[in-house]
Amino acid sequence: MKHILLIVSLVGCLAINVSAQQDLKPLASVSTFQERLKNETTRIYTIESNFTQEKYLDVFEEKVISQGQFFYKREDKIRMEYSKPLSYLIIISGQKLKIVSEGKSNTISLGSNPMMNEIKSMLSACMVGDLNSLSSSYQPDYFENASLYVIRIKPVSKSVQAYIREIVVSIDKKDMSVKALRLWETEKDYTEYIFTHKKYNTIVSDELFAIP
Protein backbone atom coordinates (compact mmCIF):
# COMPACT_ATOMS: atom_id res chain seq x y z
CA MET A 1 0.00 0.00 0.00
CA LYS A 2 2.86 2.39 0.77
CA HIS A 3 4.22 1.82 -2.75
CA ILE A 4 0.79 2.61 -4.22
CA LEU A 5 0.49 5.83 -2.21
CA LEU A 6 3.86 7.06 -3.39
CA ILE A 7 2.94 6.43 -7.02
CA VAL A 8 -0.44 8.14 -6.75
CA SER A 9 1.04 11.20 -5.08
CA LEU A 10 3.28 11.70 -8.09
CA VAL A 11 0.66 11.43 -10.82
CA GLY A 12 -0.77 14.86 -11.30
CA CYS A 13 1.07 17.92 -10.06
CA LEU A 14 3.72 17.74 -12.73
CA ALA A 15 10.49 18.69 -11.22
CA ILE A 16 12.79 21.12 -10.62
CA ASN A 17 16.51 20.33 -10.84
CA VAL A 18 19.29 21.66 -8.63
CA SER A 19 20.52 24.24 -11.11
CA ALA A 20 17.05 25.74 -11.46
CA GLN A 21 16.86 26.32 -7.69
CA GLN A 22 20.08 28.26 -7.33
CA ASP A 23 18.65 31.72 -8.00
CA LEU A 24 15.21 31.38 -6.46
CA LYS A 25 13.71 34.27 -4.53
CA PRO A 26 10.39 34.64 -2.70
CA LEU A 27 7.49 35.45 -5.00
CA ALA A 28 6.60 39.14 -4.86
CA SER A 29 2.83 38.71 -5.27
CA VAL A 30 1.29 35.31 -4.60
CA SER A 31 -2.22 36.54 -5.43
CA THR A 32 -1.15 37.83 -8.86
CA PHE A 33 0.53 34.50 -9.62
CA GLN A 34 -2.51 32.50 -8.49
CA GLU A 35 -4.87 34.60 -10.58
CA ARG A 36 -2.75 34.21 -13.71
CA LEU A 37 -2.33 30.46 -13.15
CA LYS A 38 -6.06 29.96 -12.73
CA ASN A 39 -6.88 32.05 -15.83
CA GLU A 40 -4.42 30.09 -17.98
CA THR A 41 -5.53 26.65 -16.81
CA THR A 42 -9.25 27.41 -17.12
CA ARG A 43 -8.97 26.66 -20.84
CA ILE A 44 -7.28 23.29 -20.34
CA TYR A 45 -9.61 20.29 -20.16
CA THR A 46 -7.24 17.47 -21.13
CA ILE A 47 -3.48 16.94 -21.13
CA GLU A 48 -1.32 14.27 -22.71
CA SER A 49 2.46 14.14 -22.69
CA ASN A 50 5.54 11.97 -22.52
CA PHE A 51 7.31 11.71 -19.20
CA THR A 52 10.64 10.59 -17.80
CA GLN A 53 10.76 9.44 -14.20
CA GLU A 54 14.02 9.57 -12.28
CA LYS A 55 14.04 7.82 -8.91
CA TYR A 56 17.02 8.25 -6.59
CA LEU A 57 17.59 6.05 -3.53
CA ASP A 58 20.50 7.10 -1.36
CA VAL A 59 21.01 3.59 0.00
CA PHE A 60 21.87 2.39 -3.52
CA GLU A 61 23.52 5.65 -4.64
CA GLU A 62 21.98 5.32 -8.09
CA LYS A 63 19.15 6.63 -10.23
CA VAL A 64 16.50 4.44 -11.84
CA ILE A 65 15.08 5.90 -15.06
CA SER A 66 11.60 5.04 -16.39
CA GLN A 67 9.60 6.44 -19.32
CA GLY A 68 5.99 6.49 -20.40
CA GLN A 69 2.92 8.53 -21.30
CA PHE A 70 0.70 10.69 -19.10
CA PHE A 71 -2.98 11.51 -19.67
CA TYR A 72 -5.32 13.77 -17.71
CA LYS A 73 -8.95 14.76 -18.14
CA ARG A 74 -10.68 17.31 -15.95
CA GLU A 75 -11.68 16.94 -13.17
CA ASP A 76 -10.74 13.53 -11.83
CA LYS A 77 -9.33 11.27 -14.56
CA ILE A 78 -5.63 10.36 -14.68
CA ARG A 79 -3.68 7.70 -16.54
CA MET A 80 0.05 6.96 -16.31
CA GLU A 81 1.29 4.34 -18.74
CA TYR A 82 4.88 3.19 -18.15
CA SER A 83 6.62 1.61 -21.14
CA LYS A 84 10.35 1.48 -20.20
CA PRO A 85 12.03 -0.42 -18.69
CA LEU A 86 8.84 -2.27 -17.61
CA SER A 87 5.16 -2.00 -18.50
CA TYR A 88 3.04 -0.59 -15.67
CA LEU A 89 -0.33 1.14 -15.67
CA ILE A 90 -2.08 3.45 -13.20
CA ILE A 91 -5.61 4.80 -13.74
CA ILE A 92 -7.60 7.10 -11.47
CA SER A 93 -11.22 7.75 -12.37
CA GLY A 94 -13.59 9.32 -9.88
CA GLN A 95 -13.30 7.36 -6.67
CA LYS A 96 -11.52 4.36 -8.21
CA LEU A 97 -7.83 3.52 -8.56
CA LYS A 98 -6.64 0.74 -10.87
CA ILE A 99 -3.10 -0.61 -11.09
CA VAL A 100 -1.94 -3.17 -13.65
CA SER A 101 1.47 -4.76 -13.09
CA GLU A 102 2.90 -7.91 -14.66
CA GLY A 103 -0.48 -8.76 -16.08
CA LYS A 104 -2.24 -8.55 -12.72
CA SER A 105 -4.92 -5.92 -12.14
CA ASN A 106 -5.90 -4.44 -8.77
CA THR A 107 -8.74 -1.95 -8.22
CA ILE A 108 -9.49 -0.14 -4.95
CA SER A 109 -11.87 2.57 -3.79
CA LEU A 110 -10.46 6.00 -3.01
CA GLY A 111 -13.52 6.83 -0.94
CA SER A 112 -12.64 4.22 1.65
CA ASN A 113 -9.19 5.73 2.26
CA PRO A 114 -8.93 9.29 3.68
CA MET A 115 -5.23 9.42 2.78
CA MET A 116 -5.98 8.67 -0.86
CA ASN A 117 -8.70 11.32 -0.97
CA GLU A 118 -6.29 13.90 0.47
CA ILE A 119 -3.73 13.13 -2.22
CA LYS A 120 -6.40 13.25 -4.92
CA SER A 121 -7.46 16.74 -3.76
CA MET A 122 -3.85 17.89 -4.01
CA LEU A 123 -3.47 16.50 -7.52
CA SER A 124 -6.68 18.12 -8.72
CA ALA A 125 -5.62 21.49 -7.30
CA CYS A 126 -2.35 21.34 -9.23
CA MET A 127 -3.99 20.26 -12.47
CA VAL A 128 -6.64 22.97 -12.57
CA GLY A 129 -4.38 25.69 -11.19
CA ASP A 130 -6.36 26.26 -8.01
CA LEU A 131 -3.77 25.94 -5.26
CA ASN A 132 -6.08 27.83 -2.90
CA SER A 133 -8.20 24.69 -2.75
CA LEU A 134 -5.46 22.73 -1.01
CA SER A 135 -6.62 21.60 2.40
CA SER A 136 -5.02 22.63 5.67
CA SER A 137 -2.94 19.43 5.43
CA TYR A 138 -0.49 21.24 3.13
CA GLN A 139 1.60 24.41 3.43
CA PRO A 140 2.66 25.94 0.08
CA ASP A 141 5.55 28.42 -0.24
CA TYR A 142 6.07 30.39 -3.46
CA PHE A 143 9.32 31.32 -5.24
CA GLU A 144 10.51 32.42 -8.67
CA ASN A 145 13.52 32.93 -10.89
CA ALA A 146 13.89 34.32 -14.40
CA SER A 147 12.05 31.46 -16.10
CA LEU A 148 10.08 29.57 -13.46
CA TYR A 149 7.56 29.88 -10.70
CA VAL A 150 8.31 27.32 -8.00
CA ILE A 151 5.90 26.06 -5.35
CA ARG A 152 7.22 24.04 -2.45
CA ILE A 153 4.39 22.12 -0.84
CA LYS A 154 4.99 20.64 2.60
CA PRO A 155 2.46 18.35 4.31
CA VAL A 156 1.33 19.45 7.74
CA SER A 157 -0.45 16.21 8.56
CA LYS A 158 1.79 13.64 10.22
CA SER A 159 -0.01 10.85 8.37
CA VAL A 160 0.98 12.45 5.05
CA GLN A 161 4.52 13.17 6.28
CA ALA A 162 5.01 9.43 6.65
CA TYR A 163 5.12 9.20 2.85
CA ILE A 164 5.90 12.72 1.59
CA ARG A 165 8.52 15.13 2.96
CA GLU A 166 8.07 17.85 0.34
CA ILE A 167 6.74 18.33 -3.18
CA VAL A 168 8.36 20.91 -5.46
CA VAL A 169 6.33 22.01 -8.49
CA SER A 170 7.89 24.12 -11.26
CA ILE A 171 5.78 26.19 -13.65
CA ASP A 172 7.01 27.77 -16.88
CA LYS A 173 6.54 31.55 -16.84
CA LYS A 174 6.04 31.65 -20.60
CA ASP A 175 2.76 29.74 -20.71
CA MET A 176 2.07 28.85 -17.05
CA SER A 177 2.26 25.14 -17.84
CA VAL A 178 3.40 22.81 -15.10
CA LYS A 179 6.80 21.62 -16.28
CA ALA A 180 7.70 19.03 -13.69
CA LEU A 181 7.63 17.78 -10.13
CA ARG A 182 10.07 16.47 -7.56
CA LEU A 183 8.75 14.42 -4.65
CA TRP A 184 11.07 14.20 -1.65
CA GLU A 185 10.23 10.99 0.17
CA THR A 186 13.03 11.45 2.73
CA GLU A 187 15.81 14.01 3.18
CA LYS A 188 17.85 12.28 0.44
CA ASP A 189 15.46 10.05 -1.54
CA TYR A 190 13.32 11.57 -4.26
CA THR A 191 11.33 10.83 -7.39
CA GLU A 192 11.40 13.37 -10.20
CA TYR A 193 9.10 13.62 -13.21
CA ILE A 194 9.95 15.61 -16.33
CA PHE A 195 7.11 16.13 -18.83
CA THR A 196 7.71 16.78 -22.53
CA HIS A 197 5.73 17.13 -25.77
CA LYS A 198 2.59 18.27 -23.99
CA LYS A 199 -0.69 18.46 -25.90
CA TYR A 200 -3.83 20.13 -24.63
CA ASN A 201 -7.53 19.43 -25.23
CA THR A 202 -6.88 16.50 -27.56
CA ILE A 203 -8.60 13.70 -25.60
CA VAL A 204 -12.26 13.33 -26.52
CA SER A 205 -13.60 10.12 -24.96
CA ASP A 206 -13.22 8.59 -21.50
CA GLU A 207 -12.03 5.26 -22.88
CA LEU A 208 -8.45 5.71 -21.66
CA PHE A 209 -9.70 6.13 -18.09
CA ALA A 210 -12.23 3.27 -18.01
CA ILE A 211 -12.21 1.14 -14.85
CA PRO A 212 -14.69 -1.76 -15.10
Compute the distance between CA of residue 20 and CA of residue 17 in angstroms, rounded to an integer: 5
What pLDDT does residue 203 have?
A: 94
**Higher pLDDT, residue 147 or 16:** 147
- For residue 1, the 8-state DSSP code is -
Q: Is the full-model pTM beyond 0.85?
A: no
What angle, 0 to 180 degrees and rounded to 10, lies between the N-to-C axes of helices 30-41 and 114-128?
90
Tell whether the model's pLDDT for residue 87 goes beyond 90: yes
For the ranges 101-105, 121-125, 182-186, the lowest mean pLDDT is seen at 121-125
What pLDDT does residue 14 have?
A: 44
Average pLDDT across the chain, whole number: 81
Peptide linkage before 140 cis (omega within 30 of 0): no
Could you give all domains of the chain from N- to C-terminal order, each with its CATH number?
2-200 (2.50.20.10)
Q: Give whole-number Cα distances, 194 to 60, 113, 179, in Å.
A: 22, 28, 7
Tell whether the model's pLDDT for residue 27 goes beyond 90: yes
Q: Which residue, among 186, 188, 208, 156, has the nearest Cα to 6 in the 3D structure?
A: 186
